[in-house]
Amino acid sequence: MLRILTICLVLLWLNACAQKSPKVETMSSLKTSMKSVVLDTTWIEKIVKSNIEWKKELSADQFYILREHGTERPYSSPLNEVKDKGTFICAGCKNPVFSSNTKFDSGTGWPSFYEYFSSKSVSVSLDNSLGMSRDEVVCKRCGGHLGHVFNDGPEPTGLRYCMNGDAMEFVTEQIPTGELTVATFAGGCFWCTETIFESIKGVSEVISGYSGGEEQNPTYENVGAGRTGHAEAFEVYYDPKVISYIDLVRVFFASIDPTIVNGQGPDRGKQYRTIAFYKNDEEKSIIEQKIKEISTEYNKPIATQVVPVQKFWEAEEYHQDFVKRNPNQGYVRAESIPRRERTLAKVKDLVR
């Protein structure tokens, strides 16, 4: 009887990746592997090595997961907490397997994604080990075991790629700021505006933050409570060779109701006012010309402020890429995603 009970407990633990367990806060620090690697999705030859060779290159934990099909303990990998922009690569062969853009918090304790990086990233096959049937995910280039995939993930795929952090490394995204130009706007909730502009071609990055007030080091709590002069704002890093400032202004006004004073959608307060910040006379002229064009479309005056660019304060990290990370959050589903889709339908020629 004791033997049967022990086997059942082992099977339960090994299948824990299929369970939605509550989070246990045990990690005191976050350490990620940040390396300069070439993200190659054009490789032709697969990588084949003996276990002896793999043992020389991998850590004991990596070898256990990748080559012996092991499973790490939930919440044991720092990669579960990574929220930076970047790419997750196979720890064995450096093949890019998942993007931070498709990572989400599944509540399982393992890094989870709803889509893989490219067609060269992973392979899925049936795993009948341990007396159960699961879909195993392995690196397509070296065959290293990564984890399993389940059909209880968020839209748009409905899949949850439940991965072992020890099977991967993380490469942070570097923004080539020297080649990009920055535009700053405020358009109501920055969760909404960020996901809109990140869908536009030529846009490399969108940073949520605060601007328009005089207070130093504003926080979400203070801004959200209306205790500062700041508005929820966002910076758009874009390539002017791909998209013009004129088109960005077009997207901005397509994304808002410019006649609402101190608010957008269900959100009200000066922190949700709309602002077009300009860096020079040319940008100011472009904004004013656009306002002149659209003013005839409304029965009320345009309330969007046009002001010189002010100091931009980057918002707390958990606000960055909020919609991508929390696609099933209530406000995101009810407001952010519908607003994004309405806006993109108006500027189809600019969608990436």
CA distance 97 to 116: 6
State the catalytic residue, choosing from 17, 93, 189, 192: 189
**Among residues 17, 90, 162, 192, which one is catalytic?**
162
Rounded alpha-carbon distances, angstroms, from residue 179 to 201, 239, 249, 261: 15, 7, 20, 36
List phi, psi (to 5°) of 46. Answer: -80, 160
90 is known as an active-site residue: no
> Is 246 in contact with 203 (CB distance < 8 Å)?
no
Spatial distance between the Cα atoms of 173 and 322, rounded to a whole number of angstroms: 17
Contacts 24+ apart (CB under 8 A), 118-123: 118/41, 119/41, 120/41, 120/42, 120/43, 120/95, 121/41, 121/95, 121/96, 121/97, 122/97, 122/146, 122/161
Largest separation between any pair of C-alpha atoms in the chain: 82
Establish whether the linkage from the previous residue to 156 is cis, with ω within 30° of 0: yes
Q: How many residues does the chain have?
A: 352
Q: Which residue carries 């409570």 as its tokens?
A: 225
CB neighbours (10 Å) of residue 132?
Answer: 11
Q: How far is CA 8 from CA 115, 172, 290, 299, 303, in A?
A: 32, 40, 67, 69, 65
Assess whether 189 carries a catalytic annotation.
yes
Which residues carry out catalysis?
A: 162, 189
